[in-house]
Chain A
């Protein structure tokens, strides 16, 4: 069974950093979105198993995505990967239902630990 991954970040480099840190069985089916609006369009129409989400983005930001997912009952594990590491921001995203907060630039071992914790590895 394959796992459908969505990576949402406005930075091409940041998307690649996540993609390269994923094991092959997760990266081979990864889709990419460059802002929150694109991510929501994919989440509404496709069966996504896990979302990697940036916060500071144009159009719809990461908090907006989490709020909309909550409002529309779109349920899947969301790993927020952000440079905005303020404790209040971390608690905001966890309150909105994110599975974990990971700081940028994303580290391979942190990502692996969190994927293991949530049963993706």
Chain B
């Protein structure tokens, strides 16, 4: 039997930690784009590595995916995927307000993704007295095969993971960006231990 399942209190606590992190990340995004970002309640669900592509199928219609690994103390690690929808991708350069030739589209999207990922995870980590380091962000373009290959490499070492999906909706421009965090089972068990310590205080 897997010890992976979170009980109601653990799920509530994790969701509250995520809410705080996503609030700070959306504030960064709002300031960066000089607009308002609408937040929805995030989804948290377990996935196994075989189902991963099925559950990500919808998301993988994205025009661009930026992937960045994160590593904290106490075996807390995972992979963050930032997904941009095709109809929105051409708006991004306008939104970001870069001068033509200043930065390529690829550089802009990596830049934005890295800001969102690191803001979110730094805030998340600080709440659990942890500290994250990051691998260099990688742009996996529209090519689904490339995304699959990359995720296969990431999922190679785990059977079960927690999938956390956060949608950032920039309503003024109908621009959407989804952040998907994949946290392998072993790392989740470590997060659970930290959550239990927080819950003990209450």
**Given the interface contacts A56-B39, A56-B41, does A83 sit within 8 Å of B202 by beta carbon?**
no
> Is residue A20 contacting chain B, with contact meaning CB distance below 8 A?
yes
Hey, which bits of chain B sit against chain A, CB under 8 A?
A: 9, 12-13, 15-16, 19-24, 26-27, 30, 36-37, 39-41, 127, 198-199, 202
- A17 to chain B minimum Cβ distance, whole angstroms, is 8
Q: Write out the residue numbers on chain A whose beta carbons fall within 8 Å of the beta carbon of B127.
A: 105
A12 touches B15 (CB 8 A): no
B22 touches A83 (CB 8 A): yes
Which of A12, A56, A58, A89 meets B19, CB within 8 Å? A56
A13 within 8 A of B: yes
Given that A11-B19, A13-B16, A56-B19 are known contacts, is A83 also in contact with B24, CB under 8 Å in the complex? yes
Majority DSSP secondary structure for residues of A touching B: mixed
Q: Contact partner of B23 among A13, A20, A58, A85, CB < 8 A?
A: A85
Tell me if B202 and A104 are in contact (CB < 8 A).
Answer: no
Enumerate chain B residues within 8 angstroms of A88, measured Cβ to Cβ. Answer: 30, 36
Question: Does the CB pair A83–B23 fall under 8 Å?
Answer: yes
Question: Is A85 in contact with B41, judged by CB distance below 8 angstroms?
Answer: no
What's the nearest-Cβ distance from chain A to residue B8, in Å? 8
Q: Which residue of B lies closest to A10 (CB)?
A: B41
On whether the beta carbons of A86 and B27 are closer than 8 Å, the reply is: yes
**Across-interface contacts of A103 in B (CB, < 8 A):** 23
- For residue B202, which residues in chain A have a CB less than 8 angstroms away from its CB? 13, 16-17, 20
Q: Complex formed: what's the CA distance from A55 to B24 in Å?
A: 14
